[in-house]
Amino acid sequence: MEDREIIELSLAYWRLKQWVDKVEVEKKRAAYSALRRIEAILSLHDVQLLSYDGQQYTIGLPVSVEETTEDLECDGAIIQRTLEPVIRQGQRILHYGIVRLTQGE
């Protein structure tokens, strides 16, 4: 699989899983079965999807910060939500994540 294909499959998987986790539908079990199959394929290619929700933001994380109108200090900021995960294959970063920050305590 090419890097571009891995990134597209990984992002599609992640978005679908986020949606299935939140939605109340009768056929959730079938969706989770399909997600497990995709997860197995990604694992076969040594692909990991990394999310940093709730962690302290530090310079050097493989993420971009979402543009915001708030004036946040990066020192002490907390990652409120991962908008796109970091996609790593082995030790190689294929896709930098996108996160939304909130001011920490």
Task: Tell me the per-residue pLDDT of 30-67, one tens digit each, with 9 for 90 and over.
Answer: 889 999 999 999 999 999 999 999 999 988 999 999 87
Q: What are the residue ranges spanned by the domains of the chain?
A: 3-103
48 pairs with which residues across the strands?
88
Distance between first and last Cα of the chain: 43
Closest CA to 45 of 97, 9, 85, 14: 9
Closest CA to 68 of 77, 60, 76: 77
pTM of the model: 0.85
